[in-house]
A and B are shown apart, each in its own frame.
Chain A
Amino acid sequence: MSLIEQTRGALMRATTVYRNTPSAARVAALTARLDEPLRVAIAGRVKSGKSTLLNALVGERLAPTDAGECTRIVTWFQDGHTYRVDLYPRGGRSRQARFTRDDGVLEIDLGGLTPDAVDQLVVTWPSRALRTATLIDTPGIGSLTESVSRRTWELLTVEDDEDAPADAVLYLMKHLHSGDVEFLRAFQDTEVSRPNPINAIGILSRADEIAVGRMDAMASARKIAGRLATDPRVRRVVQTVLPVAGLLAETAATLTETEVQQLRRVAALSPGDVEDLLLSADRFVNTRPELGVTETERMVLLERFGIFGIRTASSLLRRGVASTASELARELLDRSGLADLHAVLSSLFFERREVLKSRSALLGLAALVRSTPAPGSEDVAGEVEQIIASAHPFNELRVLSALRAGWITGKPEVMTELEQLIGGAGTAPHLRLGVPGDAGSQTVRSAAFEALSRWQRRAENPITSYELALASRVAVRSCEGILSSLVRAEA
């Protein structure tokens, strides 16, 4: 029985136990979530670029990115058939809210409510991107306004009487800061695995700012992200760290033909002149009036691209790497790091969505039976605990986090292999086995057999440490899983 089926079974038992009790709705909600898209929250400090990244992922400028009041409210973006916004006041009934769009950006009418009085906003928007994942935009922490920080904490730290709203988290960091690690602790639950790097990815956002907009900014940011991803403190809380130049990604995803025309005028200048023009934001706006782009247009360009974006885009156009708007958009998406993020999201979150969703549901059930015992809830608790303790995907996650926390130790190359094998870099067989993606099934199969016997030996070797022996048994089980999936694929 697959994990998701087991989870459904536990939920069905809970439905019976809690039928006609106030908790029935909660169980129903948990059950419904299994069939909904994965919920991904975007969190991070104030001004770390959360809304900008959300827009880039959706491919539309939906979320307001200025410091207006809506960025101070938790806002859900979900797929649907119609365009609508629902407003949930604190301690009141939800109602539909009026909204307008200003240059694409949603302006939501709070109907006279202050942001503090609004619990959350739910934006329903027909979008292909939102069909894969529901995105949750959170207000930042570490702001000067205490109440804004508290809202984010409320969303991400879960009490027993409610369920975790998010299945996975993108955590935006501007360059590691001690406060950030503390914040991440909020995601660490105590049941499935302790410190929990399994449902979080770190994003080194505003990556272009790290090198203050130099042309090699992304290379530099990639280096830093790579170092962060190997920092033991970071490894405890996120799976990996990726650099993303959020503003550029958002603009690339929503690039207009007019903008490309304006950029062509910049690209037509000699490289030296471009350098002078882009020496500072002020100079870009104020010098070379003959360029044929008005001051206002230039200010808008700056707002959309930033100095780094204009430098990159004009250089791409001048060198002929891109000539049309769609080519430029593709190049910019690539250079902004968003393309890499998409790939990682799909291997670490989307391919594992059933595990992540089951995990959310089981944690929710465990919390429910703890806080609200009912006749028969003991059995639900037993079933949940049994699934959590024995389901192989959870064992993998547990070993993964134990590895990340440094509890399992051994030769570095063995640790790297173990991490890969249990799905640390993605769950596809070739990723687990570390063979090229285009390797033939024969190569994959023999790699799997080799791995199997290697890990069997490690599991049985008497000098293997206790922790590593346990982990090796999980690895053996992962190899068997790969082999049986290969057999199924061929059948």
Chain B
Amino acid sequence: MTEPTTAPGADVVRRAVSVVDLGLQASHAYGREDLAQRLQPVRRSLDDPGIHVVVAGEFKKGKSSLVNALVGAAVCPVDDDTATAVPTYIRYGEQVQAYLLYPEDPVRREPVAVDEIRRHVTQENSPSAAYVSGLAGVEVRLPRTMLASGLVIVDTPGVGGLGSAHAAASLAAISMADAVVFVTDASQELTAAEVDFLRQARDLCSTVVCALSKTDFFPAWRQIRDLDTAHLRRVAEIPVIPVSSTLRARAVRVNDAALNHESGFPALVEFVSQRVAGGGVVRVATSAAAEVVAVARQIESQFQAELAALSDPETSAKVVAQLTATKERAELLRVAAAKWQQTLGDGIADLTVNVDHDLRARIRQVIAEADKAIEEADPADTWPQVEAWLKSRMAQEMLTNYTLLRRRAGELSELVAEHFRDASGVVLAELGIYNPSTVLGQATVDTELELERQGMVTQAWSMMRQSYGGILMFTVLPAMLLHITVAAPVAIGIGLVMGRKGLVDEKKRHLQMRRGQAKNAVRKYCDEVTFAIGKDSRDTVRRVQRQLRDFYATRAEELNRSNAEALKAAQEVAQKTEVERQKRVRDLQAELARLKELRERAAAVRG
């Protein structure tokens, strides 16, 4: 096989791991357990960056075969008829293991034998069967180099066609993914529904590739590839990669490099592991480095204040006075009246109202349209269509509503970050007023600032991701996909024995009744969905609020601690003998040099 044996971005991660470990050591050594605690989750994210690649596409296009061929193992059941009903998450593990995931908080994992998976994830006739059984997904762990960098491949259900409620579920998954592999086959060019889906996917996720499957079977695949490329050019730059899962599976089995090349998979593997996994890993490593820089700065500032206090008694008094003043300012960061806290509180209130209003307006519109459709035809004939239409409309509206929530929450998080940065920047600057790094080369400072900015972006992103954590997919969508019950649309009297007039009258009377029933069913369904979504989005908003608040409160706490430590050290200066002072100055200078080195190494992590 010609595939890379080392994970891409591995050296960047290695460098990041070593600076984070140094940062942890330093935090412990200087007695700053709070900062060590800040670095621990960062360290964990380097072990498992969780870069999600979502595999999506129309029903029966060979998504599961493609995933199997990609990882070189038959983990996703492939069947001519039944379809995958729940998402399968494939990630790295020392040995082959599989779990069933249940939608609880936190997600409940139940071990399962790999060959038992089929029974759980395939759809047996009823689209809602899997949801009724309460299963939210399946996780499979495989010892594969490609996955070792923290790549997670998600095989999504393709049931019900791209215009359906299931498609909205796929899009919801895509909105949280790092990349999308869209699968279409070489039997025909992309359909209007597929192009629409790709357009939406591209809006939600910047990295999208289109895999053209079954090239072994369809002789005209080159022609289809060119047609598809032309269609896609109108949407965005989405590369088309022709692949054959059959050839790839055989190539892996008989270890035939030429056949592997023919299967087209090397290009897809390259895309997934270099561009997606590599890019994602570098992003996570960069964010980790930014955290180390921030931690090093805190300690440096604290030490610098102490160093200044040590120089002479006059400066010492000034430093103490300054730090006492800063203490109040730092305290202010913690209280509810702090500007960032107010921004957060007001923002959350606005967000809740706006999202709720948007949702209600959308659902009113859907109900109006449904009523119109019901009035125009006989529900006895059209109910199945109305039901399918209603579900997919609601799912689409819900997705749009959720996208709004996501966007607004992202904006709010950035605003809060900015206000916190402004206020904390003043504190940090005062604390490290004698910081010689201000006279350091401007280039270093720029690198660090850039790093900090990127770190913030990645952090906000991963925070968002944690807040949503699949809640939408686990609780709301399953509820939506269940059947809508209409009380017997059925009493339609066959009217065989009735006379002509009776027949017509009977029809009319029953028709009105059926329309009434259908409208009621639509309202009941919409009410239930509104309730479920409303609760879900309120919960999400609350989680966002709590996370942002805790995050910045902890940062404020750290600053207070740094200030307090510096103040304490400065006040103790007077009690020290000259010899002790001299020694402390030398120690501090040595520590500062080390911290500076750490900061520089962190800044260089990206290479």
Contacts and interface: CB of A to CB of B under 8 A. Distances in A.
A307 B192 contact: no
A473 to B, nearest CB: 7
A405 B494 CA distance: 12
Interface residues of B, number: 49
B161 A177 contact: yes
A352 to B, nearest CB: 20
Contacts of B250: 279
B106 interface: no
A389 B262 CA distance: 64
B246 interface: yes
B496 A470 contact: yes
A398 B496 contact: yes
A144 B216 contact: no
Given A279-B250, A307-B217, A395 B187 contact: no
Interface stretch (B31-39, B109-117, B375-383, B463-471): B375-383
A114 to B, nearest CB: 21
Contacts of B125: 227, 231
Nearest to B507: A190
B255 interface: no
A3 B80 CA distance: 45
Interface string B516-545: 000000000000000000000000000000
A389 B498 CA distance: 9
B21 to A, nearest CB: 50
Contact of A281 (B189, B192, B218): B218
A46 B161 CA distance: 16
A210 B163 CA distance: 21
A399 B231 CA distance: 47
A181 B381 contact: no
Interface string A464-480: 00110011011000000
Nearest to A307: B217
A399 B494 contact: yes
A227 B80 CA distance: 12
Interface in B466-492: 490, 492
Contacts of A46: 188, 191
A438 interface: no
Contacts of A283: 262
Task: Output the residue of B160, B189, B215, B494 with the most chain A CB within 10 A.
Answer: B494
Of B60, B188, B392, B492, the most chain A CB neighbours within 10 A belong to B188
Given A175-B59, A233-B384, A389-B503, A213 B217 contact: yes
Given A178-B161, A181-B385, A470-B496, A280 B244 contact: yes
Given A179-B161, A406-B490, A474-B496, A209 B188 contact: no
Contact of A179 (B62, B163, B492): B163
B161 A181 contact: no
B530 to A, nearest CB: 24
B490 A178 contact: no
Interface string B376-399: 001011101100100010000000
Interface in A178-198: 178-179, 181-182, 185, 188, 190, 194-195
B500 interface: yes
B163 A220 contact: no
A61 interface: no
B446 interface: no
A25 B492 CA distance: 37
Interface in A365-403: 382, 385-386, 389, 395, 398-399, 402
Interface string A322-362: 00000000000000000000000000000000000000000
A181 B490 CA distance: 20
Contacts of B80: 210-211, 220-221, 223-224
User: Chain A interface residue count: which class?
Assistant: 35 or more
Nearest to A180: B161
Contact of B81 (A144, A179, A182, A227): A227
B607 interface: no
B190, B218, B503 pick with most chain A CB within 10 angstroms: B218
Interface string B61-89: 01000000000000000001100000000
A407 interface: yes
A281 B494 contact: no
A357 B323 CA distance: 98
A307 B246 CA distance: 13
A236 B384 contact: yes
A61 B388 CA distance: 39
B219 A177 contact: no
A179 B214 CA distance: 24
A57 to B, nearest CB: 22
A394 B322 CA distance: 99
A265 B164 CA distance: 48
B321 interface: no
B66 to A, nearest CB: 12
A280 B262 contact: yes
Interface in B212-228: 214-219, 221
B193 A178 contact: no
B247 interface: yes
B380 A467 contact: no
A182 B385 contact: yes
Contacts of B436: none
A439 to B, nearest CB: 31
Contacts of B493: 466-467
Given A144-B195, A178-B164, A385-B500, A280 B188 contact: no
Nearest to A399: B494
Contact of A142 (B192, B216, B217, B246): B192
Contacts of B337: none
Contacts of B81: 210, 220, 223-224, 227
A136 B292 CA distance: 73
Contacts of A279: 216, 246-247, 250, 259
B215 to A, nearest CB: 7
Interface centre among A282, A283, A399 (most CB of B within 10 A): A282
B497 interface: yes
B500 A181 contact: no
A299 interface: yes
B164 A395 contact: no
Given A227-B81, A302-B219, A47 B496 contact: no
B59 A282 contact: no
Contacts of A407: 490, 492, 494
B490 A212 contact: no
Contacts of B262: 280, 282-283
A86 to B, nearest CB: 31
B59 A185 contact: no
Interface string B111-134: 000000000000001000000000
A302 B493 CA distance: 54
Interface in B391-425: 392
Contacts of A303: 219
A404 interface: no
A382 B500 contact: yes
B192 A143 contact: yes
A175 B250 CA distance: 27
A12 B227 CA distance: 55
Given A280-B246, A402-B494, 8 more contacts: A47-B187, A178-B160, A178-B388, A179-B163, A185-B381, A224-B81, A303-B219, A470-B496
28 contacts: A47-B187, A142-B193, A144-B195, A175-B59, A177-B161, A178-B160, A179-B161, A181-B388, A185-B385, A194-B381, A210-B80, A212-B62, A220-B80, A220-B81, A224-B80, A224-B81, A227-B125, A236-B384, A279-B247, A280-B215, A280-B244, A281-B215, A282-B262, A306-B217, A385-B500, A398-B494, A470-B494, A473-B497
Which 3 A/B pairs are nearest by Cβ-Cβ distance?
Answer: A280-B216, A281-B219, A47-B188
